[in-house]
Structure 1
Amino acid sequence: MNNSTIQQYNYHQWANDRTFNHLSELPDEIYDNEIESVFSSISEVITHLYQVDAMWLSVMSGDAFEETMAKLKEIKRRSANKGLEQIQKLYAELSERYQPFLNDVADLDADISVNHPQYGTLETTVSELVQHVVNHGTYHRGNITAMLRQQGHSGVQTDFVFYLYEIA
């Protein structure tokens, strides 16, 4: 077991939870307000993050490309037009699938192959894909902070060091 990988995922979950909690304290319209940004609303960013996190769990689980795409179609259907509380619940359910998966992988640094029809075969590890999921989440939580500021609200601290302080 790679404790660093599990810690990184735990950080990702912590940062997402802090973001959800912060958003829930703001006026409801902030979540769906259309603004000019990378995404047209915070709800679109949150939905995108959920869909991508769920897709990568399918990939890390060893699903073939076609199976992952079929799951992604269902993930998109389930997460479309969800309010903050509903998407937060979907995220919690997803985290409940990630945790046992990561704990059950015998070696998170063992080589795996990811096959994509356009990009080819990638030789990687589950730990590297978790790093990608966490990095992707950090990037988009930054988008959310910028979108909140654009609407006159502050963001919430989700830097890794604040996670470390909290768990110390």
Structure 2
Amino acid sequence: MKHPVLQVYDYHVWANKKLFEHLKTLPADVWSTKIQSVFPSISQTFMHMYIADTIWLGTLLGKPFDEVKTSAIHLSEKIKDTTIKEMEQLFLTLFEDYQEFFAHEENLEKVISPEHPHFGRLDTNVFELVQHVVNHGTYHRGNITAMLRQLSYTGTSTDYIFYLYAMK
């Protein structure tokens, strides 16, 4: 049986892929259309999700806060004008990086203690941080669905239960 952390991360990958596939069926300008929402466009929402997922992988790998923060700043400048296909490829590569982390991490319950300059030290474990990554992605996929509705398009169902049915 698959470890729960791997299961929830697989769901995250499935849901993002499903949303990318749906978005590619819509007019190309939907990706970067400016709207009044949590983020000014769907592309910027995905950019935020990608940077956050990258930050948390760095944290899981034990990188110090300042290194992760500096990397995120450079990354946001590098990817600010990505197309949907480029962003999808960035996520696919990041998914592979997470899978490599999982493959080499022998103890997925291992306690890790990231330090944040404002929030202090957090004693947590791999599963809890991966659960945060997944929850964060779910939240923003919901934002994207709302944004699509504002633009008069439907979303696609990415709830966990649909993942479970898809995996049957």
Question: How many matched pairs?
Answer: 168
Distance (Å, rounded) in 1 between the aligned partners of 2:30 and 2:3: 37
1:2 offset after TM fit, Å? 6.7
CA-CA distance at 1:71 after TM superposition? 1.8
Q: Percent identity?
A: 43
CA-CA distance at 1:80 after TM superposition: 1.3
CA distance in 2, matches of 1:84, 1:74: 20
Q: What's the secondary structure of 1:37's corresponding residue?
A: coil
Structure 1, gaps ≥5 residues long: none
| SS across alignment from 2:99 | helix
Over aligned residues, Cα RMSD in angstroms? Answer: 1.2
Separation of aligned partners in 2, 1:49 and 1:140 = 7
Residues 55 and 68 in structure 1, CA contact (< 8 A), matched pair in contact too: yes
Q: In structure 1, the residue corresponding to 2:114 is in which secondary structure? A: strand
Structure 1: distance between partners of 2:11 and 2:150? 26
TM-score of the superposed pair, with normalisation by structure 2? 0.96
Secondary structure of the residue that 2:26 maps to in structure 1? coil
Say whether residues 1:157 and 2:144 are aligned partners.
no
| TM-score w.r.t. length of structure 1 | 0.96
Shift in Å at residue 69 of structure 1?
Answer: 1.4
Residues 55-74 of structure 1 aligned to structure 2 (within 5 Å):
55-74=55-74
Aligned equivalent of 2:127: 127
Look up the equivalent residue of 1:77 and give its one-letter code. Answer: E
Distance 1:110 1:103 in 2: 14
Runs of 4+ in 1 over 6 A off after TM superposition: none
Q: In 2, Cα distance between the equivalents of 1:21 and 1:121?
A: 39
